[in-house]
Amino acid sequence: MSINGKDAMSEQSDVFDFQEQQIPELSVSAVTVAYWNTLVAGQSVLESEDGTILEIFPDGTRREVKRIPPGVKVVAGSKLRLR
């Protein structure tokens, strides 16, 4: 059966492709909501900023937890071997 000149498999593939493209934006939204819900609940969150892990408290204060080595820039689609 054809819909607008496309077969059903092609239509379904297009839907899956569209949904898959939404994953990065949806994950950013989910992490942002979780971050703020945690602070609203009175708990602290951890963030990485300029080579430092910081604990952020609901009142906005920050405490340095640990210094870490700089991040590694990775090109999308590349593979890294971890030791």
43 within domain boundaries = yes
Q: What is the pLDDT of residue 7?
A: 80
* Residue 26 placed within a domain: yes
Q: Which domain holds residue 53?
A: 2-67
Q: For position 6, what pLDDT does the model report?
A: 65
The verdict on residue 81 lying in a domain is: no
pLDDT of residue 15: 87
φ, ψ for residue 58, nearest 5 deg: -55, -30
Predicted pLDDT at 14: 87
Q: Is 18 inside any structural domain?
A: yes
How many domains in the chain? 1
The answer to whether residue 12 is domain-embedded is: yes
Token pair of 15 as six digits: 């839907």
Can you give the pLDDT of all 83 residues of the chain as single tens digits? 455 656 877 888 888 888 898 898 999 999 999 999 999 999 999 999 999 999 999 999 999 999 999 887 888 888 888 87
Helices then strands, counting H and E runs in the chain, come out as 1, 5
Is the Cα torsion angle 5, 7, 8, 13 positive or negative in sign? Answer: negative
